[in-house]
Amino acid sequence: MGRKVAFSAKAKKEQLQAKRARKRGGEQQDNPDTTGHDGESAAPNPKTKFELLLHHKKESKAEIMRRIKECEEPLTVLKAKDGLEVTVDELHNDTTRIFLARPPWEKTDTVEALNQREKTALIDYIQQLRDSVDGDESRLCYFERNLETWRQLWRVIEISDVFLYIVDIRFAGQHFSPALYMYLTKKLKKPFILAFNKCDLVPEEHTRAWTDYFREHFPAAHIVAFSNHYPVSSKKKFRNRLGVAKGVDELIRLWKELQLPGGAFWEAQFNEWSHDTGRENSFDGEEDEDDQEEGSADETKEAQGEPEGAQTSNTVTLALLGQTNVGKSTILNSILGKHVVQASSTPGKTKYLQTHYVTPDIVLCDSPGIILPSLVSRAFQVLGGLYRISECREPFSAVNYLASRVNLISELKLQPSKESLDDGGEFFWSAYRICESYAEKKHFVTAKSGRLDVSRAAREMLSFVITGRILLAYVPRGFHSRGKSRVLMDCEEAGG
């Protein structure tokens, strides 16, 4: 055996740098925005671990610093009718109303030709979006640029017969995609069910107002409401327990009204689950293991007791669609009456489509969340759960957006921090000073210098919105001027 060659610290450092360079190269190959338009690559390398990660365009350092500077300015508080009212129309332009459908294909097409056609379609679509905002991409939201995620959505649409589009009722206007709605109802002419999720977090009049709005502007959508009840416990092993979505009975009723097959059997099965005292225990258990793999369609069939190839011409596939972090997996678990897929408050938990049998005639298809293009503020996307807080390069602009609409100072019982009072001059509240105050209250300090950890404070406040501890909820235009009682009365007269 020969003598071992010395491996110095310098050689180890060079080895790690080369490894990181290879990884960065694979990530850039995945992202169609990393090169010029003529030479862009929209398909990820399937051998890299970046294949199904959510991809968004990286912002420049100058843009980040500009936003941080704005957060140090005096806070501007908006009235409810200005800051908390929205319509779907004002969040979209003509281009964002166009859905990127899968390019036409034939069985005789080669894999290479089909892949190139799909790459070109996504690249052209991104360029059209840029042109629609005159090249100023800051006016667009963070939207999906990963071709593999689009392929998952295209596959779900191809195999499904009915679509259950799920939105968070707090952000119904921002989460709804008119482009996908028009494509499914006008072009494919398939049943479209709009599900309002997490309705227990908002007042009843909010749900009624959004129901009235969507029935007026999107009449082809059949509306159901779900509410999630999260078990409260201080024990660590129960901290991430699955929330149970209430509203499956309303979905079954609508299913029978649409005269879709399997409704009677589904209703009988659901009633049996509802009266089973051990049903809630089937949802217990530790969750949120990010590295756990999702089950494939064939594995799911075997787990459900369905033989391979059991799907017949009478089988109806119900697709669960929606943007990230709206509760698709939680609703799927509640429909099935047991825990079968992982649910998490982290966007992008579900990465592959999965099929599960509800009855011999009904198949559920869970899809990965995909962020479709719109004119929604990027700061809002962080608050709406569409962008990971941990990946936010600067959380202060999202805190500024939140503080201008919600009284954080009263909500969190904040007092001016010592650092802000020591600055001299007349004191005023800003987004940055709110973060300083909360960091001082919670004793968040950096490990080395012992300064206030304002970044950690900002991220924790943002997480309160996602979990519902701080209520940020939007309503349709005119809600506050009409009054709550008028909204309830109008909905009751319309049969709401």
For 294-312, how does the pLDDT look when each residue is reduced to its tens digit (9 = 90+)?
A: 444 443 443 344 434 445 5
In angstroms, the CA 292 to CA 369 distance is: 17
Per-residue pLDDT band at 419 (split at 50, 70, 90): confident
pTM: 0.78
DSSP strand E in 344-492: where?
354-359, 362-366
The pLDDT value recorded for residue 426 is 82
pLDDT value of residue 328: 85
Report the distance separating Cα 213 and Cα 218, nearest Å.
8
pLDDT higher than threshold 50 for residue 43 = no
Q: Is the pLDDT of residue 24 over 80?
A: no
**pLDDT of 60 above 90:** no
Q: How far apart are the C-alpha atoms of 355 and 332, rounded to whole Å?
A: 10
pLDDT value for 203: 92
Average pLDDT over residues 192-207: 93
pLDDT over 70 at 47, yes or no: no
Average model confidence (pLDDT) for the chain? Answer: 79
Provide mean pLDDT across the span 127-139: 87
Let me know the angle formed at the C-alpha of 475 by 470 and 477, rounded to the nearest 5 degrees: 145
- 39/217: higher pLDDT: 217
Residues above pLDDT 70, as percent of the chain:
75
Q: What is the pLDDT of residue 348?
A: 54
pLDDT band with cut points at 50, 70 and 90 for residue 388: confident
* C-alpha 333, offset from chain centre: 17
- 258 contacts 237 by C-beta, under 8 angstroms: no
Q: Is the pLDDT of residue 400 over 90?
A: yes
* Spatial contact of 179 and 208, defined as CB atoms under 8 Å apart: no
Q: What is the pLDDT of residue 119?
A: 94
Q: What is the pLDDT of residues 344-381, one digit of tens each?
A: 665 555 667 888 999 888 999 988 888 899 998 888 88
In this prediction, residue 57 carries a pLDDT of 62
Report the C-alpha gap between 287 and 194 in whole angstroms.
Answer: 28
C-beta separation of 252 from 270 below 8 A: yes
The pLDDT confidence band at residue 342, using thresholds 50, 70 and 90, is low
Average pLDDT over residues 317-341: 85
pLDDT at 59: 73
At residue 244 the predicted structure's pLDDT band, cuts being 50, 70 and 90, is low
Phi then psi for residue 140, to 5 deg, are: -95, 155
Work out the burial of residue 126: count CB atoms within 10 Å of its CB; fewer than 13 is exposed, 13-18 middle, 19 or more buried: buried
Contact 399, 435 (CB under 8 A): yes
Interval 449-487: pLDDT, tens:
889 999 999 999 999 998 889 999 999 998 988 765 444
Q: Can you state the angle between helices 263-274 and 248-257, rounded to 10 degrees?
A: 160
Q: Provide the pLDDT for residue 217.
A: 95
* pLDDT at 238 exceeding the cut of 70: no
pLDDT at residue 35 in the model: 38
Task: Give pLDDT, residue 453.
Answer: 93
CA distance 126 to 135: 11
pLDDT confidence of residue 17: 87
Per the structure block, which two tokens stand in for 483?
Answer: 């009054």
Q: How far apart are CA 456 and CA 354, in angstroms?
A: 36
Q: What is the pLDDT of residues 205-221, one digit of tens each?
A: 999 999 999 999 999 99
Contact between 416 and 452 (Cβ < 8 Å):
no
Q: What pLDDT score does 7 carry?
A: 73
Q: Which of 71-75, 278-282, 290-294, 383-387 has the highest mean pLDDT?
A: 71-75
pLDDT classification of 139: cutoffs 50, 70, 90: confident
* The pLDDT of residue 288: 40
pLDDT value, residue 280: 42
pLDDT at 282: 40
Measured CA to CA, the distance from residue 78 to residue 475 in angstroms comes to 15
What is the band of 164 on the pLDDT scale with cuts at 50, 70, 90?
Answer: very high
Dist. CA 291–CA 294, nearest whole Å? 9
CA separation for the pair 322, 335 (Å, rounded) = 16
Q: What is the pLDDT of residue 171?
A: 94
Segment 32-53 shows an average pLDDT of 41
Sheet holding 354-359, edge to edge: 221-225, 192-197, 162-168, 316-321, 362-366, 354-359
Please tell me the predicted confidence (pLDDT) of residue 354. 84
Average pLDDT over residues 409-417: 92
Query: pLDDT at residue 49 above 50?
Result: no
pLDDT value of position 245? 64
